[in-house]
Amino acid sequence: MDFSLTEDQQAIRDGVLDFCSQYDDDYWLERDHEGVFPLDFHKAMAEAGWLGVAMPEEVGGAGLGITEAAIMMTAVSESGGGMSAASSIHGPVFSMQPVALFGTEEQRRRMIPPVLAGTDRICFAVTEPNTGLDTTKLKTRAERREGGYLVNGEKIWISVAQVANKMMLLARTTPLDQVKRKTEGLSLFFTDLDRSKIEVRKIAKMGRHAVDSNMLFISDLWIPEEDRIGAEGDGFKIILHGLNPERILLAAEAIGLGRAAIKRASRYAKERVVFDRPIGMNQGIQHPLAKCWAQLEAANLMVMKAATLFDKGVDCGVEANAGKYLAAEAGFEACHTAMLTLGGMGYAQEYHVERYLREILIPRTAPVSPHMILNFLAEKVLDLPKSY
């Protein structure tokens, strides 16, 4: 049992941290103020080949695993870019997995390379206003027509839709009352985000202003049959293959942001002098920061375990969910502790930790709440009755 990174994995971490150092905290604070998508960062990461870390080599990827993707995303967030940096490239890193795993050879070669090259920007359109995590009750309908589907419906909390030209869409192709199992009758599509048929309405939100969140209103959108991924009605089964990687990567990003917060707070604690001594000499400052470091590193072990199991093809639902829970909670405490360490200056934007605290709420809340994860763990690990 070896808990250390391999030489290649360490090279990925070092390389990403070095690459991202050109986009410092002030860069991300400015993007946050402007509320503008970081196109230059996205383009640079694509040109450097990082977006394809977990994609097959035959479509332009590096052919590595979710473990390496998690290491990369931790470093991206840890660099100070936080969730703004991570969310701007999160989609290409994991959202094309359904195409890689279930797409035809033609679809793989048509759809994946432009995303990895950064010429296509994608959004992931699953969540709806009135269904939440009850995905089987999605209302968006894709009705069969000759040669394709006509789609109508609404989606919410869709990231990057302001700048995306492609979307991964989950819609119901068979009404819920006409299927034997509620998980049947949903189909997955990767298609153009046609703005003549889709109204994209931006949601004003608390943080991560550089990466937009939106509502989509879809009216008579035409999707050709060749843009459907997998068999009709198999969308739910296909999408399940992406849930664990998504949790792993969100957890990795939370760990990175927590590390950034602790690093900044520790530096401040060494420099800030009160009563003729640096505040970092006080155990009231030291102990909370040390506790946060320990919690982050422990959470990281669970996340890496989940990623390793996934790459081996072993079921990792418990580990992925536990890792996401632990990383998000540890990341939140780290960012909150960092703000308290800085005192009044922690509330000032120029010291960045207030931005960290706003952004850490994303992995703590999405894509599944901590309460739902605990429900899952209670049922699957402790064999307690299902509570929802």
**148 beta partners:** 145, 224
User: For 229, phi and psi rounded to 5 degrees?
Assistant: -95, 120
Instruction: Note whether 29 and 355 are within 8 A (CB).
Output: yes
pLDDT reported for residue 146: 97
CATH superfamily of 237-380: Butyryl-CoA Dehydrogenase, subunit A, domain 3 (1.20.140.10)
Percent of the chain with pLDDT over 70: 100
pLDDT reported for residue 132: 80
Amino acid identity at 93:
V
CATH topology for 7-116 is Butyryl-Coa Dehydrogenase, subunit A; domain 1 (1.10.540)
pLDDT reported for residue 102: 96
Residues with Cβ < 8 Å from 149, sequence gap 6 or more? Answer: 142, 143, 171, 173, 187, 189, 222, 223, 225, 228
Residue among 111, 128, 127 nearest 119 (CA): 111
Instruction: Note whether 363 and 327 are within 8 A (CB).
Output: yes
Q: Where are the domains of the chain?
A: 7-116, 122-232, 237-380
Instruction: Note whether 159 and 87 are within 8 A (CB).
Output: yes
Whole-angstrom Cα distance, residue 341 to residue 284?
Answer: 9
For the domain spanning 122-232, the CATH number is 2.40.110.10
Structure-token match 């400052």, residue found: 285
pTM for the full predicted model:
0.96
Helix (H, G, I), strand (E, B) or coil at 129: coil
pLDDT reported for residue 25: 95
* Token reading at 143: 């009705």
Amino acid identity at 234:
D
pLDDT reported for residue 281: 98
pLDDT reported for residue 289: 98
pLDDT below 70 — which residues of the chain? none
Whole-angstrom Cα distance, residue 96 to residue 155?
Answer: 19
